[in-house]
């Protein structure tokens, strides 16, 4: 038997289709059949790349984490202080959310699914890749790297992430950019006031 490596391009097509289906119908409404149809492939091809729906879902969290990580790596080309990095990070994340809201809906639903149905099935909880990504972006600030700023980055990252999650849920429901932008500016101001 000749071994054929699985096409990463096809896997990504399936994962992008899963995002669209989950964003439209939720994790519970997403079936491998619907994901395959969205990807424009037959069900057998999906199952060649993923054993089950659970395999697609677990791979999707990893895929989104890697995608966000790569985007963050490119977002901050030059050195900046933690004060400036807080604003840059939140501005960058906000622009990504506006461009790709389906990813956010899918990620929220995946994490909630992991807390409910996943637990009932005895699956390990899906961890969000976001806390580590926020922390890494903050840790790369010039005054943190050189040791002059000793802010508690875990607490700061958690504060920003949790505050933004509330803003994001409201924005996903209302799509009110101007209100969200004012609230985001207040979140940045609060983070700078509390942690710097």
Domain assignment present for residue 117? The answer is: yes
Give the CA dihedral 59, 51, 108, 82, nearest 10 degrees.
Answer: -10
Domain assignment present for residue 50? The answer is: no
Task: Quote the CA–CA distance of 68 and 164 in Å, as a whole number.
Answer: 16
Domain assignment present for residue 48? The answer is: no
Q: What is the pLDDT of residue 195?
A: 97
DSSP secondary structure letters along 58-115: HHHHHHHHHHHHHHHHHH--S---HHHHHHHHHHHHHHHHHH-HHHHHHHHHHHHHHH
The DSSP symbol for 116 reads T
Q: What is the pLDDT of residue 125?
A: 59
Domain count, the chain: 1
Domain assignment present for residue 144? The answer is: yes
Lowest mean pLDDT segment, chosen from 11-20, 29-38, 107-116, 124-133: 124-133
pLDDT tens digit string along 141-164? 999 999 999 999 999 999 999 999
Q: What is the pLDDT of residue 6?
A: 53
pLDDT tens digit string along 81-114? 999 999 999 999 999 999 999 999 998 898 888 8
Q: What is the pLDDT of residue 2?
A: 37
Lowest mean pLDDT segment, chosen from 17-21, 38-42, 61-65: 61-65
Q: What is the mean pLDDT of residues 12-36?
A: 96
Task: Quote the CA–CA distance of 150 and 172 in Å, as a whole number.
Answer: 34
Domain assignment present for residue 11? The answer is: no
Domain assignment present for residue 20? The answer is: no
Domain assignment present for residue 13? The answer is: no
| 126 has a pLDDT exceeding 80 | no
The DSSP symbol for 125 reads P
Contact residues for 123 (Cβ-Cβ < 8 A; gap 6+): 54, 114
Share of the chain above pLDDT 90, in %: 75
Q: What is the mean pLDDT of residues 8-25?
A: 94
Average per-residue pLDDT for the chain: 90
Range of the domain at 92: 60-195
| 191 has a pLDDT exceeding 50 | yes
| 118 has a pLDDT exceeding 80 | no
Q: What is the mean pLDDT of residues 166-191?
A: 96
Q: What is the pLDDT of residue 4?
A: 38
Domain assignment present for residue 77? The answer is: yes
């Amino acid at each position: 038997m000749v071994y054929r490596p699985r096409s990463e391009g096809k896997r990504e097509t399936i994962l992008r289709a899963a995002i669209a289906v989950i964003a439209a119908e939720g994790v519970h409404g997403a079936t491998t059949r619907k994901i395959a149809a969205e990807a424009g492939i037959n069900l057998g091809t999906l199952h060649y790349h993923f054993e089950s729906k659970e395999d697609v879902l677990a791979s999707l969290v990893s895929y989104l984490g890697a995608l966000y990580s790569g985007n963050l790596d490119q977002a901050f080309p030059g050195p900046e202080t933690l004060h400036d990095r807080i604003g840059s990070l939140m501005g960058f994340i906000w622009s990504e959310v506006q461009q790709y809201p389906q990813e956010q809906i899918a990620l929220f639903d995946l994490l909630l699914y992991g807390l409910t149905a996943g637990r009932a099935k005895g699956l390990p909880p899906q961890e969000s890749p976001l806390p580590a990504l926020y922390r890494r972006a903050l840790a790369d600030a010039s005054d943190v790297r050189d040791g002059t700023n000793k802010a508690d980055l875990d607490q700061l990252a958690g504060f920003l992430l949790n505050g933004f999650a509330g803003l994001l849920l409201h924005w996903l429901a209302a799509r009110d950019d101007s209100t969200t932008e004012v609230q985001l500016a207040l979140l940045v101001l609060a983070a700078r006031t509390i942690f710097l």
